C-alpha cells in the first residue's frame, strides 16, 4: 500500500525538505526533493515488516530518506562511483534491516522506482546496475560481519557464562571439598568393589595411615575379628544396592595395632540413573566414650572395696552360664559368710573390718581363681564362688575345704592378728531342671544350715531337708488362714473306767486336713505352731470346739455324759489370757467346769516360773480338772507333785506297753511294779490315774488289778469322730 | 536431588534457550544450532512467529516511550533476554539520557552477553536471577544501586509471564514488584494467549517449549487482565499486541488476534 507524497503531514514535509536541502546541488535537490521523498516512502512501504528495526514507521521513512539521498548522490556524482551504495547497504544492516526479503525488495525497488523517481537518464542503466551490485555487496558484507560479530558475541557470552558457572562450581566444589577435608568426622569414599578412593584428614588421623596407604586397601581389609556378624551383612546389603545406608558401632584396628571404637555410618551414592556408584563412610571415633562406658560398666559390676565382681556381675555370669550351658552341664555355688565378722567390725571398727574383707577377698581369689570360676562379693561379709561346668559335688566340697583351710591362717590387719572362719553353703547340680534363682535360693538356705551347724563348717544342699523345711514353712504361714477356713477338726478318743468299762471322758485330738499335704497328725504342726505362736489361737479354737462337743454330750447324755480332756501346750499354759479364755469358752458353751480336763506335760507344769502355776490354780479353783500327760517320761519331782493343782496323772504308754510283754521276759514284772507304785503314789496324793496306750484286754485287766482308775487306747477305741462316742454311750444304754 | 541455592547450574548449550530462539526470530545471530532447530520447528507450525516477535518488540518500544512520556525514569526489565536491537536503555536513553535500566534474566548466557554489551554504561545494570525470586532480584547490588524506591518504577514483563506457571504465584510476584516503586509506577505486560485463532499450531509450539529450558504457560485475556490487580489499566486496556497504542503511521492490522499475544500497561493509583 503506497501513500501519496501530498498525504505527508506538514511538519514532516518540512523536515524532508530540510533533508533535501542538505544535498550538494540545491537547485537540483529541490527539483528532485519530492522524487526522493516519494522513493523513500515507497521503499519504506516495501520493507516494513521484513526486518525488525527499532524504529517507528516515521523513523523508518526518515532513515530511508537519508539513504535515498546517498543513493542519489552516488548516481549523479561525476565521476561515477558506486561506493556510496555500498555504504547504504551497510547502513541498512546497521539499522538492523537484516531480513533477506528487505534486500530483495530494496534491489527490486532501486531498479523499478529509482530512475523514475529521480528522473534518471535511461541512457546510463549501467550506473543503476553498478549501484544495485554495490548496495547488495555492501549489505552482504555488513550482514556477514554482523553475523560473525553476533556469533562471536554470543560465543563470548557463553564462554563468560560457562566460566562463571565453572568458577561457581569450583567455589562450590571447594566448599564441598572443605567440608570433606576439614570435617572433624572421618570420611572415606570407596568404589562399589570396596577399593578406597579418598579419605579426609580426620580419617587418616584416626586410622594412622597415609592416604596412599589407605587407597591401596579395600574396605573389607578393615574387617575386625570381633565385629558383629550383622556389620558385614549390612555392608553386603549396601554394596549390592539393597539398602542405602546403615549405622553401626564397629571396632577398627589402627596402623599401630591399637583398637579404636567408632560409630560408622555407611551410605550408598547412586548416579542419575539410580545405579550404585560409590560408597561413603562417615566414621566417628568414640573410643574414649567407649572406654568410659567400659569403666562405668566395670564400676557398676565390681565391688569397690575388694575389687571383686559384685552381685550384679555374679548374677550376670550365672545367667550366662545357664544360657550357654549344654544339657549335660552341671553348676556349683559356694555361698560363704564370715563367722563373727560383726564382732570384729563392732569392736575394732569398720576400717579394720574393711581391711579384713579385702584380705579375705584376696585369699578367696587366690585359692579359687581359674577359668570358669568366679569369686564375687555379694554384700557385707558374704562372698560367693561360681563354678561353671562342675563335674560332681566333690568339686564344690573340695573348693569349700580349700577355702576353709585358706582362712585358717590368721589375717593381720594393722596390729591385729585376726582369726577368721567362714560358713559355706554348697549347691551342686545339673543345669537341667533348675534356674539361676533356684540355685541362689538353695545356696542361701544351705548357708543358713551351715551357720546353724556352727563355725567353719560347710553344708551341702539337701533337697529332702529343704522339702521338710519348706513344708514346715508352708504350714506355719498357712495356719492362720487354715483355722479360718475350717481345715482343722477334732477326733475324740474315749477314756474308759477300768472297773466297769464305762466311757467317762474323751480326749480331744486336733487334726489338720491340709489341702496340699492331706491329713496331718498333731506332731506335724503342733511343735511348729508353738514356735510361731500360732498355738495360742489354734488352742483356743480347739478348746472352744471341744467344749462345744462336751455341751452336746451333756445335753444328750446328762449325768452319763463324758468329760472332755483337752491338751494344753506349754506356750498356751503361759499365755496370760488363758484363764479368761477358758472361763469365757465355758460360759459361752454352757459346759460345767468340772466336765473339762486340761492335759499338760510334766515340763509345762514343773520347773517353770510361778505364773503358769497361778493360772492352773485359778483354773483348778474354777473346777477345771488338770491332768499331767505322759507322766513318767520327763523330770518328775514326785515330792513337788503334792503342791501342784493336779487331779489326774496319765501314765505314758511306754509303761503300759510292758504290761503286755510275755511272761518269759521278766521286764513286765518291773513295769507292773512301777505302774503299781505310780498308782499308789497318785492315790496317796488323791489323784486319779489314767493309763495311756492300752491295746489289749490283758493289759486292761492287769491295770485294773493294779488299781489304775482309767484306761485309754486302741483296745477301747482309736481316736475318731464324736459320733463314735455317741454310739458307745448309746449302746451301753 | 535438589541443588542447593549456592551450588551453581551448568551452562548447557545443547538445550535451546527461549532468549536465543527469540533472537533468531528477530533476525539475530546470537544463537546456536539447537536454538535454530527449535526456532525452525516452531516456524513450520507458526510461520508468523518472526512477525509476532517483531510486533512484541515494537510493543516494548511503544510502552517504554509511553512510560517515558509519563515521567518514568527507571525501568526494571524482567526476562530481558539477549540484547537485540532496540533495547530498553537504547530506546529510553535516546529520549531521556538519565534513565536507569536494570535488566534481569535467568539465562547465564543472556546475562553474560548483556553485561558485555552494557559495559561502561553506568546507568544500566544486569542481574542474573530468576524473575520469580523477587528478593533475589530487588536485593541484587545492581538493582539496589540503580533503582530508587521513592521514584515511580516501570516494571517490564514483556513475553515473560507465559513462562511463569500459576504454581509459581505470578500474582504474588507482581504484587511484590509493585511495592518496589513509588506511586505512579507502571507495569508493562505482553503475554501469549491461546483462546483465539485458527492456529492449531500453538499447542504444538507449547509442546516444543516444554523441551526447552523454559516451558510455556498461555493465559486467557481475563487472566492476563487479572494480573494487573493493584494497577489501573491505561487505555486501551489489555488488547492484542498491535492494538496497543499503535503509531499513527502504522498500517492498521486487520487481524490482530493472529499474533496470539496480549498486551497492556497498568499504573499504580
* DSSP sequence for A132-165: HHHHHHHHHHHHHHHHHHHHHHHHHHHHHHHHHH
Q: Model confidence at A12, in pLDDT bands (50, 70, 90)?
A: very low
Strand partners for A519: A513
Q: Model confidence at B155, in pLDDT bands (50, 70, 90)?
A: very high
Taking contacts as CB-CB distances below 8 angstroms, the residues of chain B near A171 are 8
B26 and A1 in contact by Cβ < 8 A? no
Q: Model confidence at A565, in pLDDT bands (50, 70, 90)?
A: very high
SS3 A258: coil
Question: What Å distances lie between residue B67 and A210, B148, B248, B263, CA to CA?
Answer: 68, 16, 18, 14
Is the CATH code 3.40.50.150 the one for domain B50-267?
yes
pLDDT of residue B177: 93
The answer on pLDDT for A576 being more than 90 is no
The answer on pLDDT for A17 being more than 70 is no
Q: What value does the mean pLDDT take over residues A254-275?
A: 89
Taking contacts as CB-CB distances below 8 angstroms, the residues of chain A near B10 are 165, 169
Q: What value does the mean pLDDT take over residues A580-593?
A: 93
> pLDDT for B162-208, tens place per residue?
888 888 899 999 999 998 889 999 999 999 887 444 455 566 666 66
pLDDT of residue B6: 40
Q: Which has the minimum average pLDDT: A112-126, A587-601, B12-26, B41-55? A: A112-126
B110 and A96 in contact by Cβ < 8 A? no
A52 and B110 in contact by Cβ < 8 A? no
User: Are the CB atoms for A479 and A525 separated by under 8 Å?
Assistant: yes
Q: How many CA atoms lie within 13 A of B14 on its CB side?
A: 1
Alpha-helical (H) ranges within A200-349 are 201-207, 211-215, 229-239, 287-301, 311-324, 341-348
SS3 A494: strand
> pLDDT for B211-234, tens place per residue?
655 667 888 888 999 999 999 999
Q: What value does the mean pLDDT take over residues A268-277?
A: 86
**DSSP per-residue string spanning A174-209:** HHHHHHHHH-SSEEEEEETT-BEEEE-HHHHHHHT-
User: Are the CB atoms for B99 and B75 separated by under 8 Å?
Assistant: yes
The full set of domain ranges for chain B reads 50-267
Nearest to B70 by CA among B88, B95, B87, B90: B95
Q: Model confidence at B11, in pLDDT bands (50, 70, 90)?
A: low
Per-residue DSSP letter, A308: S
Taking contacts as CB-CB distances below 8 angstroms, the residues of chain A near B84 are 52, 96
Taking contacts as CB-CB distances below 8 angstroms, the residues of chain A near B213 are none
SS3 A261: strand
pLDDT of residue B60: 93
Rg (chain B; Cα; Å): 17
Q: Is A724 exposed, middle or buried (0-12, 13-18, 19+ CB in 10 A)?
A: middle
Q: Which three cell numbers stand for residue A729?
A: 454311750
Phi and psi torsions of A240, nearest 5°: -90, 5
Interface test with A, best of B24, B56, B108 (most A CBs within 10 A): B108
Measured in angstroms, the CA of A168 and the nearest CA of chain B are apart by 6
Q: How far apart are the first and last CA of chain A?
A: 163
Q: What is the largest CA-CA distance in chain A?
A: 197
Taking contacts as CB-CB distances below 8 angstroms, the residues of chain A near B91 are 54
Q: What value does the mean pLDDT take over residues B127-134?
A: 91
Nearest to B133 by CA among B164, B108, B87: B164
> pLDDT for A323-350, tens place per residue?
888 888 899 999 999 988 888 888 888 8
Alpha-helical (H) ranges within A456-574 are 463-485, 522-532, 535-557, 570-573
Which residue of A147, A154, A172 is in closest CB contact with B109?
A154
* CA dihedral (A667, A668, A674, A677) positive or negative: negative
Say which residue the cell 585376726 belongs to.
Answer: A418
**DSSP per-residue string spanning chain B:** -PPPTTSPPP--TTS--HHHHHHHHTT-----HHHHHHHHHHHHH-TTHHHHHHHHHHHHHHHHHHHHHTT--EEEEET--S--SS-HHHHHHHH-TT-EEEEEES-HHHHHHHHHHHTT-TTEEEEES-TT-HHHHHHSHHHHHH--TTS--EEEEETTGGGS-GGG-HHHHHHHHHTTS-TT-EEEEEEE--SSSS-THHHHHHHHHHHSSS------HHHHHHTTTTSEEPTT-SEEGGGSS--TTSPP-S-GGGG-EEEEEEE--
Q: Model confidence at A550, in pLDDT bands (50, 70, 90)?
A: very high
The answer on pLDDT for A712 being more than 90 is yes
Strand partners for A711: A496, A691
pLDDT of residue A732: 57
pLDDT of residue A122: 62
Alpha-carbon distance of B233 to B227, in angstroms, equals 11
pLDDT of residue A21: 36
Phi and psi torsions of A253, nearest 5°: -105, 125
Which residue of B11, B84, B247 is in closest CB contact with A162?
B11
Residues on chain A bordering chain B, Cβ-to-Cβ distance under 8 angstroms: 1, 48-49, 51-54, 56-58, 61, 96, 98-99, 146-147, 150-151, 153-154, 156-162, 164-165, 168-169, 171-172, 175
Taking contacts as CB-CB distances below 8 angstroms, the residues of chain B near A169 are 7-8, 10
ipTM for the whole complex: 0.81
B8 and A168 in contact by Cβ < 8 A? yes
Q: Which three cell numbers stand for residue B260?
A: 496470539
Alpha-carbon distance of B206 to B51, in angstroms, equals 18
pLDDT of residue A173: 82
The answer on pLDDT for A202 being more than 70 is yes
The answer on pLDDT for A4 being more than 50 is no
- Chain A's closest residue to B4, CA to CA, is A172
Burial A220-239 (b: 16+ CB within 10 A, else e): eebeeeebeeebbebbeebb
Taking contacts as CB-CB distances below 8 angstroms, the residues of chain A near B50 are 52
Do the bridges between strand B74-78 and strand B154-158 make them parallel or antiparallel, or are there none, so unpaired? parallel
Q: Model confidence at A3, in pLDDT bands (50, 70, 90)?
A: very low
Alpha-carbon distance of A444 to B88, in angstroms, equals 101
- Chain A's closest residue to B22, CA to CA, is A52
Q: Model confidence at B9, in pLDDT bands (50, 70, 90)?
A: low
B109 and A158 in contact by Cβ < 8 A? yes
pLDDT of residue A11: 39
Most confident of A25-34, A155-164, A280-289: A280-289
Where is A251: in which H helix or E strand? Answer: strand A245-253
pLDDT of residue A10: 39
Strand partners for A566: A508, A598
> pLDDT for A127-183, tens place per residue?
788 888 888 999 999 999 988 988 888 888 888 888 888 888 888 888 888 888 888
Q: Model confidence at A731, in pLDDT bands (50, 70, 90)?
A: confident
Alpha-carbon distance of A627 to A601, in angstroms, equals 8
pLDDT of residue B203: 63
Alpha-carbon distance of B124 to B251, in angstroms, equals 34
What's the pTM? Answer: 0.51
> pLDDT for A433-454, tens place per residue?
889 998 999 999 899 988 888 8
B8 and A156 in contact by Cβ < 8 A? no
User: Are the CB atoms for A266 and A194 separated by under 8 Å?
Assistant: no
Q: To the nearest whole number, what is the mean pLDDT of chain A?
A: 84
Taking contacts as CB-CB distances below 8 angstroms, the residues of chain B near A48 are 251
Q: To the nearest whole number, what is the mean pLDDT of chain B?
A: 85
The answer on pLDDT for A126 being more than 50 is yes
Question: What Å distances lie between residue A724 and A438, A595, A713, A733, CA to CA?
Answer: 48, 19, 14, 14
- Chain A's closest residue to B81, CA to CA, is A154
User: Are the CB atoms for A377 and A306 separated by under 8 Å?
Assistant: yes
| Cβ-based neighbours of B21, under 8 Å, separated by 6 or more | B31, B35, B38, B39, B42, B212
Task: Residue B3: count other Cβ atoms within 10 Å of its Cβ.
Answer: 9
Q: Model confidence at A24, in pLDDT bands (50, 70, 90)?
A: very low
> pLDDT for A587-624, tens place per residue?
999 999 999 999 988 877 775 556 667 888 899 999 99
Amino acid at each position: 500500500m503506497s501513500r501519496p507524497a501530498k498525504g505527508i503531514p506538514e511538519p514532516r514535509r518540512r523536515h524532508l525538505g530540510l533533508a533535501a536541502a542538505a544535498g550538494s546541488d540545491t537547485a537540483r535537490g529541490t527539483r528532485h526533493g519530492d522524487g526522493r521523498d516519494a522513493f523513500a516512502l515507497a521503499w519504506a512501504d516495501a520493507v516494513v515488516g521484513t526486518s525488525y528495526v527499532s524504529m517507528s514507521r516515521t523513523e523508518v521513512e526518515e532513515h530511508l530518506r537519508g539513504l535515498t539521498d546517498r543513493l542519489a548522490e552516488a548516481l549523479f556524482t561525476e565521476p561515477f562511483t558506486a561506493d556510496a551504495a555500498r555504504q547504504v547497504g551497510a547502513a541498512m544492516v546497521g539499522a538492523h534491516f537484516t531480513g533477506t526479503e528487505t534486500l530483495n525488495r530494496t534491489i527490486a525497488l532501486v531498479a523499478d522506482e529509482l530512475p523514475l523517481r529521480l528522473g534518471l537518464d535511461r541512457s546510463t542503466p549501467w550506473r543503476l546496475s553498478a549501484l544495485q551490485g554495490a548496495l547488495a555487496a555492501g549489505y552482504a558484507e555488513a550482514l556477514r560481519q554482523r553475523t560473525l560479530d553476533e556469533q562471536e558475541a554470543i560465543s563470548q557470552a557463553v564462554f563468560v557464562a560457562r566460566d562463571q558457572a565453572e568458577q561457581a562450581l569450583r567455589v562450590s566444589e571447594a566448599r564441598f571439598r572443605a567440608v570433606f577435608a576439614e570435617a572433624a568426622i572421618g570420611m572415606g569414599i570407596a568404589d562399589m568393589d570396596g577399593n578406597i578412593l579418598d579419605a579426609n584428614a580426620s580419617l587418616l588421623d584416626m586410622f594412622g595411615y597415609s592416604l596412599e596407604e589407605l587407597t591401596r586397601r579395600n574396605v573389607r581389609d578393615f574387617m575386625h575379628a570381633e565385629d558383629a556378624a550383622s556389620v558385614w551383612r549390612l555392608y553386603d546389603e549396601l554394596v549390592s544396592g539393597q539398602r542405602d545406608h546403615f549405622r553401626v558401632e564397629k571396632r577398627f584396628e589402627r596402623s599401630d595395632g591399637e583398637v579404636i571404637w567408632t560409630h560408622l555410618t555407611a551410605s550408598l551414592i547412586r548416579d542419575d540413573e539410580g545405579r550404585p556408584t560409590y560408597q561413603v563412610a562417615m566414621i566417628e571415633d568414640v573410643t574414649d566414650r567407649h572406654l568410659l562406658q567400659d569403666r562405668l560398666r566395670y564400676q557398676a559390676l565390681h565391688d569397690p572395696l575388694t575389687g571383686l565382681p559384685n552381685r550384679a556381675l555374679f548374677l550376670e555370669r550365672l545367667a550366662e552360664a545357664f544360657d550357654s550351658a549344654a544339657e549335660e552341664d552341671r553348676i556349683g555355688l559356694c555361698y560363704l559368710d564370715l563367722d563373727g565378722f560383726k564382732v570384729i567390725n563392732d569392736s575394732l571398727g569398720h576400717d579394720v573390718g574393711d581391711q579384713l574383707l579385702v584380705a579375705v577377698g584376696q585369699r578367696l581369689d587366690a585359692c579359687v581363681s581359674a577359668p570358669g570360676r568366679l569369686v564375687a562379693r555379694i554384700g557385707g561379709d558374704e562372698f560367693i564362688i561360681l563354678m561353671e561346668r562342675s563335674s560332681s559335688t566333690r568339686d564344690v566340697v573340695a573348693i569349700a575345704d580349700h577355702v576353709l583351710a585358706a582362712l585358717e591362717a590368721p589375717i593381720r590387719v594393722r596390729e591385729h592378728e585376726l582369726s577368721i572362719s567362714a560358713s559355706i553353703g554348697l549347691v551342686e547340680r545339673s543345669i537341667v531342671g533348675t534356674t539361676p534363682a533356684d540355685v541362689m535360693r538353695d545356696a542361701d538356705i544351705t548357708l543358713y544350715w551351715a551357720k546353724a551347724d556352727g563355725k567353719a563348717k560347710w553344708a551341702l544342699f539337701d533337697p529332702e531337708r529343704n522339702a521338710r523345711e519348706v513344708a514346715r514353712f508352708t504350714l506355719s504361714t498357712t495356719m492362720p488362714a487354715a483355722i479360718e477356713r475350717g481345715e482343722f477338726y477334732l477326733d475324740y478318743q474315749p477314756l474308759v473306767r477300768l472297773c466297769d468299762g464305762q466311757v467317762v471322758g474323751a480326749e480331744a485330738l486336733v487334726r489338720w486336713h491340709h489341702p496340699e499335704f492331706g491329713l496331718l497328725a498333731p506332731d506335724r504342726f503342733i511343735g511348729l505352731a508353738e514356735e510361731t505362736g500360732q498355738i495360742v489361737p489354734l488352742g483356743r479354737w480347739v478348746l472352744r470346739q471341744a467344749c462345744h462337743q462336751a455341751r452336746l454330750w451333756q445335753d444328750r447324755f446328762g449325768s452319763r455324759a463324758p468329760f472332755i480332756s483337752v491338751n494344753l501346750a506349754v506356750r498356751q499354759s503361759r499365755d496370760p489370757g488363758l484363764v479368761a479364755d477358758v472361763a469365757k469358752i465355758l460360759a459361752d458353751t454352757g459346759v460345767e467346769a468340772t466336765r473339762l480336763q486340761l492335759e499338760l506335760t510334766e515340763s509345762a507344769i514343773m520347773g517353770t516360773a510361778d505364773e503358769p502355776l497361778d493360772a492352773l490354780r485359778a483354773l483348778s479353783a474354777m473346777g477345771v480338772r488338770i491332768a499331767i500327760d505322759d507322766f513318767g517320761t520327763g523330770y518328775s519331782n514326785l515330792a513337788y507333785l503334792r503342791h501342784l493343782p493336779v487331779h489326774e496323772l496319765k501314765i505314758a504308754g511306754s509303761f503300759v506297753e510292758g504290761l503286755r510283754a510275755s511272761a518269759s521276759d521278766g521286764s513286765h514284772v518291773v513295769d507292773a511294779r512301777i505302774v503299781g507304785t505310780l498308782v499308789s503314789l497318785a492315790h496317796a496324793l488323791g489323784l486319779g490315774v489314767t493309763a495311756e496306750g492300752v491295746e489289749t484286754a490283758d493289759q486292761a485287766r492287769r491295770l485294773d488289778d493294779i488299781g489304775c482308775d482309767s484306761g485309754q487306747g486302741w483296745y477301747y477305741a482309736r481316736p475318731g469322730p464324736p459320733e463314735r462316742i455317741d454310739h458307745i454311750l448309746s449302746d451301753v444304754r | 536431588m535438589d541443588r542447593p541455592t549456592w551450588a551453581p547450574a551448568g551452562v548447557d548449550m545443547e538445550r535451546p534457550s527461549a532468549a536465543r530462539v527469540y533472537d533468531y526470530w528477530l533476525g539475530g545471530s546470537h544463537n546456536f544450532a539447537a536454538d535454530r532447530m527449535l526456532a525452525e520447528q516452531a516456524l513450520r507450525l507458526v510461520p508468523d512467529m518472526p512477525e509476532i516477535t517483531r510486533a512484541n518488540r515494537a510493543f516494548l518500544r511503544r510502552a517504554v516511550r509511553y512510560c517515558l512520556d509519563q515521567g518514568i525514569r527507571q525501568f526494571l526489565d524482567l526476562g530481558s533476554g539477549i540484547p537485540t536491537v532496540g533495547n530498553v536503555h537504547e530506546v529510553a536513553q535516546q529520549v531521556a539520557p538519565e534513565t536507569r535500566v536494570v535488566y534481569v534474566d535467568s539465562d547465564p548466557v543472556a546475562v553474560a552477553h548483556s553485561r558485555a554489551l552494557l559495559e561502561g554504561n553506568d546507568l544500566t545494570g544486569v542481574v542474573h536471577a530468576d524473575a520469580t525470586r523477587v528478593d533475589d532480584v530487588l536485593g541484587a547490588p545492581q538493582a539496589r544501586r540503580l533503582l530508587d524506591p521513592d521514584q515511580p518504577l516501570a516494571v517490564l514483563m514483556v513475553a515473560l509471564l507465559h513462562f511463569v506457571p500459576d504454581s509459581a504465584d505470578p500474582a504474588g510476584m507482581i504484587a511484590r514488584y509493585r511495592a518496589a516503586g513509588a506511586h505512579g509506577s507502571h507495569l508493562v505486560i505482553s503475554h501469549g494467549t491461546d483462546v483465539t485463532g485458527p492456529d492449531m499450531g500453538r499447542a504444538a509450539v507449547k509442546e516444543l517449549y516444554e523441551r526447552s529450558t523454559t516451558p510455556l504457560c498461555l493465559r486467557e485475556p481475563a487472566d492476563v487482565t487479572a494480573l494487573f490487580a493493584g494497577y489501573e489499566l491505561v487505555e486501551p486496556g489489555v488488547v492484542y499486541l498491535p492494538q496497543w497504542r499503535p503509531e499513527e503511521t502504522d498500517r492498521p492490522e486487520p487481524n490482530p488476534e493472529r499474533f496470539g499475544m496480549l498486551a497492556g500497561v497498568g499504573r499504580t493509583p
